[in-house]
Amino acid sequence: MLMRTRRLLRMFSTKLDQILFKTRKHKASLSFLAILAAGMFFRLYNLLFFHPMTADECVYTQAVFAMTRGYIPYKDIFIAHPLVYFYIEYPFMYLHPSLLSVRLVSVLLSLGVMLLTFRIADSLYSQKVALLAMAFFAFSPYTIYYNKLAIVENAVLFFVTLSLYFFLMYYKFGGKWNLFFCGFFSGIAFISKYSALVVIIVIVFLVALRDLKILGVFIGSASLMPSLFLLSLILSDVHHYWFTQTVVFQMIRFGFPLHMRLFELGFFFTLSSPLFVAAAPIITFKKSREDFMLMLLYVVPFFLILLGKVLINHYFLMLSPILCIIAARSLHQYVDSKSRKLNRMIAAILLVFIIHFLISSTFFMGSSSSELAVRAKMEVADRIRKITADNDKIWTTEADIAFFAKRLIVAPNSTIWKYQGFYEDVWGFFGTSYIGGFTGYSGGLITLSEIRQALDVEKPKVIVILRNKVADNLIWNGINSPNYHENGLAEYILANYRLNFTHHDIDVYIIK
């Protein structure tokens, strides 16, 4: 009787464990799906109107759009980076050139990063840490904001994270194939944007530290795609254009003044501050080899980025998954060590994160003013499309208006900025004091005479002037700075073009 009772109790205990295990697993699955769905929701919400297209977004989309029209990269259009991101965007742009198409690519890449962040943290630590790391990435205002923009950094982020995943699989389980794929995707990350090198350097060091003999596998696989890319450039006879635009001009480019560097760094820390707060306790705990490795993978690239001549806050995006995993690991350890005060502490942490999230939400959720600005440009572009033919070019300093109108921009006749067709990042951002003698460039910035030469040669069907924009006011009225003087183009435009319509302080002139 006693034996039978024990047997029944053992069976009951086994069944209970199975039920509880399945329940815990079910809850973890629901948490995983909920985090993933919420992360995607915030990235898709108001995707078109949360932020006007500016600077890099405009330049990149204009370049990809030109590629779909048969323009040859580097030779016919200015591109400051290798082409991986542009080829990823190409099919979306070819099938449906729209703001939704180009930004959706970044959202899809961020979905892949969320999944990879979970897998990396789960392999290194535990499922709880993995869920927390994925949640940090999914809900960070910094990552949400940049994952919604059509910029090269999202491709770098994805391929750097993918290479880190295979590196950590190699670190955990060994195997040459893991190291091969780590190198392969590191190479793709490098030809997405050269800045990926700051992470690759650390991976090389860690591989050599583990087994110097196998380092050749990583270097060989990492060289594969860059070699094929370079070979394609040589065969296409555009390698000299590529070298000038992506290497020479980047090496001699201007340096940011200290106040601008501090502003960019401050913006990054402002949007990412909860992650650093969560990561801070790890300093006080006993650290595993995995902890040291992740800290090395974050700290070294972070300071290498700081040492660069130019510092823009989105440069740190590719390091975000590492920071999220460190923060999750740190917070999980802290919670375990403070189990008696768990409820109060969790409530306080959640409150801090929620308040920061709500305050920062205007960056990635948008506002009525940002939506109005985007809609105004779309309305202007729609009217431009009606008064021009598909093969007509237009001239504007707002590349997004040209993109919305599905028209190409007349390129300035400039030695350096030729084919870029966009000026706000070099005039409106840095100011007029650089025009005619820009630091690092012997030819200076685009001058008004170079713009006029381009207009004379190509005679665009339409010219767009934004009355409230710094660059357009300079073009219209002329430049009178202490170091530079040049007459404006108002007289030339009025002599050859007539005002067709005005909409939201945007004047559209059509050729006479």
pTM of the model: 0.85
Lowest mean pLDDT among 104-108, 316-320, 488-492: 488-492
Contact 465, 507 (CB under 8 A): yes
Q: How many C-beta neighbours within 10 Å does residue 163 have?
A: 26
pLDDT in tens, 403-417: 898 988 887 655 555
Write the DSSP assignment of 329-347 as a string of letters: HHHHHHHHHTGGGHHHHHH
C-alpha span between 423 and 417 (Å, rounded): 9
Higher-pLDDT residue of 20, 376: 376
C-alpha span between 191 and 56 (Å, rounded): 17
422 pLDDT band, cuts 50/70/90, is: very low
Question: What are the domain boundaries of the chain?
Answer: 36-365, 369-511
Q: Can you give the pLDDT at residue 254?
A: 58
Higher-pLDDT residue of 88, 6: 88
Q: What is the mean pLDDT of the chain?
A: 82
Average pLDDT over residues 459-477: 84
What does the DSSP 8-state code read for residue 174?
-
Contact 473, 424 (CB under 8 A): no
Q: Can you give the pLDDT at residue 472?
A: 80
- Kindly tell me if the per-residue pLDDT of 203 is higher than 90: yes
Contact 323, 275 (CB under 8 A): yes
List residues bridging with 503 in a β-sheet: 506
429 pLDDT band, cuts 50/70/90, is: very low
List the helix and strand counts (H, then E) for the chain.
21, 7
Q: Can you give the pLDDT at residue 413?
A: 58
Inter-CA distances, 134 with 72, 148, 282, 384, Å = 39, 17, 18, 44
- Kindly tell me if the per-residue pLDDT of 81 is higher than 90: no
Query: CB-based contacts of 310: which residues, under 8 Å, 6+ apart?
Result: 253, 254, 255, 256
Contact 41, 107 (CB under 8 A): no
Lowest mean pLDDT among 156-170, 320-334, 464-478: 464-478
pLDDT in tens, 281-293: 777 777 788 888 9
